[in-house]
Amino acid sequence: MGEAVGQILPMAVGVALSPVPIIAVILMLVTRQARVNGPAFIIGWLIGLAIIGIVVIGILGGAGSSSGEPAMWVLWLELVLGLLLLLVAWRQFGTRPHAGETAAVPKWMGAIDAFTLAKALGAGVLLSGLNPKNLLLGVGAAATIAQLGISTGEQAVAYVVFALIATIGVAAPVVIYFALGDRAPAVLDRMKGWMGQNNAVIMTILCLIIGVKLIGQALGGLTT
């Protein structure tokens, strides 16, 4: 299982460093429903990641051989995921703000003030499970775990580790909110501004690094 955790760690960090979901959480924490919506978003986030893991590991759970060698089609899946991440990196690089420009904020964030508990929960599910970058990384992590030929219990534990690490980014603002009290708004505002301005660059670097890793991992298996 240690090998599985080691291989999925970069992908977990890639999900954790998701600027748009982190900004969404911060915006929820300045509303009247902050104490409810912040934790609800995190629960939804974990649910979204859990759905990915259950589906992918359920399908690919027997893809690894008893020797831990992945099936060929799993390697092809990793190759495709890597190429898609490179595409995401290229598109994100093209949307980066130039010198003197302010990064645009998604229009849907303007409705966060009116979010109920159910909407905050749903936003967490959508931003973890259907966000293109997070979906690709979640599938990549689950596929990596499934191909190693470890037991079902070890696969589950490895994916739980992935999900918990992947949640650190969105959980951090909530922890800051409850831990710092009156000092939290200033800290969260600085965090929101930095993440928003550097969103495209962060996404580009993460997708590029992890995409290359997946491609290299797949090509290594396909050529041996």
Residue numbers of the domain that contains 150: 2-222
Summarize the confidence of residues 126-141 as an average pLDDT.
Answer: 90
Which of the four pLDDT bands, split at 50, 70 and 90, describes residue 144?
confident
Predicted local confidence at residue 52, as pLDDT: 94
Predicted local confidence at residue 105, as pLDDT: 65
Summarize the confidence of residues 173-190 as an average pLDDT.
Answer: 92
pLDDT tens digits, residue range 32-56? 899 999 999 999 999 999 999 999 8
pLDDT tens digits, residue range 60-112? 766 554 455 566 777 888 889 889 999 988 988 877 766 666 666 677 787 89
The encoded tokens of residue 150 equal 């470890």
Predicted local confidence at residue 93, as pLDDT: 82
Distance between CA atoms of residues 159 and 187, nearest Å: 31
The total of structural domains in the chain comes to 1
Distance between CA atoms of residues 167 and 13, nearest Å: 9
Which letter does DSSP use for residue 181 in this model? G
pLDDT at 166 > cutoff 60: yes
Distance between CA atoms of residues 224 and 205, nearest Å: 29
Predicted local confidence at residue 78, as pLDDT: 83
Predicted local confidence at residue 71, as pLDDT: 66
* % of residues, the chain, pLDDT over 70: 90
Predicted local confidence at residue 51, as pLDDT: 95
Residue with tokens 């159910």: 118
Sign, CA torsion 133/218/216/142: positive
Concatenated DSSP letters for 93-123?
HHTPPPTTPPPPPPGGGGGGGG--HHHHHHH
pLDDT, mean over the chain: 86
Q: Cβ distance 12 to 206 under 8 Å? A: no
